[in-house]
Amino acid sequence: MTEFVMPIDITGEEKMIGGVLSLRQIGYMAISIVAIFFLAMIPFPIVIKVIGGVAIFIISAALGFLKIDQMPNLSNGMSADKYLMLMFRYKKMQKIYRLEVN
């Protein structure tokens, strides 16, 4: 019987729940559920609560599950939260350097 050696994929996240969800994705979904619960406790009209809850859920799902293929050397893309963090860090970074002659 022939045996094939399968390399271990260490480029992706470890899937904790059923081989589908990683700990980061579970965290985003849990935070969104807690935020939606606290939004439901605030005395707003029901329409605002529903729209806010859907918006919170969409944002957290995008941060948890969306992959951005801006990096050509990554085969499966970069997660949206990591991409936004790197984008904000780049925007905050100093880009103009002055030459000081003594």
Residue ranges covered by each domain of the chain: 15-92
pLDDT of residue 89: 94
The pLDDT score that the predictor gives to residue 34 is 97
18 torsion bin: left (phi>0), alpha (psi -120 to 50), beta (else): left
> Which residues have CB under 8 Å from 72's CB, separation 6+?
none
H/E stretch holding 17 = strand 15-17
pLDDT score at 74: 55
pLDDT at 39: 94
Give, for 67, the enclosing helix (H) or strand (E): strand 67-68
- Specify the pLDDT at position 98: 81
pLDDT, residue 100, reads: 82
Averaged pLDDT in 10-residue chunks for the chain of 102 residues: 75 77 92 96 95 96 86 70 92 85 77
Q: What is the structure's pLDDT at 75? A: 59
pLDDT of residue 9: 65
